[in-house]
């Protein structure tokens, strides 16, 4: 019976013999090998990738900020250019209005001068015609007087 108890205790569920330390050593060796051959390289790759992603995100944010700054500068320059263009157009319109008014004034003054010259010429011709009429009237009256005198 004792032999059957000894045999029953062997190969049981909690058999403590050299297998347990051997399994413990295998687990430690496997952990060390997995750690050195798999987990560290994979960890390094993951860390590199994480660093790359972080750097890329940082660069993207800085480039986005730079693009936004450039966009704001370009919008500002566009607004300035538009206001300058509007100012140039206004000045050109004022200049053209001024030139038109000057041309109109010059045309009016030339027309007035021509009109005044024509008026003076008409007055001169009128006075000349009156003088001729007066002279002709005097000559005619003299002729009439002379004929009347001769007839008598």
- Other Cβ atoms within 10 Å of 39 Cβ, number: 13
How far separated are the first and last CA of the chain, in Å rounded?
212
Q: What's the pTM?
A: 0.46
- For residue 147, what are the CA distances in angstroms to 137, 142, 144, 151, 152? 15, 8, 5, 6, 9
CA 102 to chain centre: 37
Q: pLDDT digit string (tens) for 33-56?
A: 988 888 888 889 999 999 999 999
| pLDDT higher than 80, residue 26 | yes
């Amino acid at each position: 019976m004792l032999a059957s108890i000894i045999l029953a205790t062997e190969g049981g569920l909690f058999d403590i013999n050299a297998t347990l330390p051997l399994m413990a050593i295998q687990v430690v060796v496997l952990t060390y090998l997995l750690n050195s051959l798999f987990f560290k390289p994979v960890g390094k790759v993951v860390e590199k990738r994480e660093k790359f992603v972080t750097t890329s995100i940082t660069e993207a944010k800085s480039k986005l900020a730079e693009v936004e700054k450039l966009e704001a500068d370009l919008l500002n320059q566009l607004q300035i250019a538009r206001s300058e263009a509007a100012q140039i157009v206004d000045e050109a319109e004022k200049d053209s209005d001024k030139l038109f008014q000057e041309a109109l004034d010059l045309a009016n003054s030339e027309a007035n001068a021509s009109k005044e010259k024509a008026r003076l010429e008409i007055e001169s011709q009128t006075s000349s015609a009156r003088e001729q009429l007066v002279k002709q009237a005097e000559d005619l009256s003299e002729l009439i007087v002379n004929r009347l005198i001769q007839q008598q």
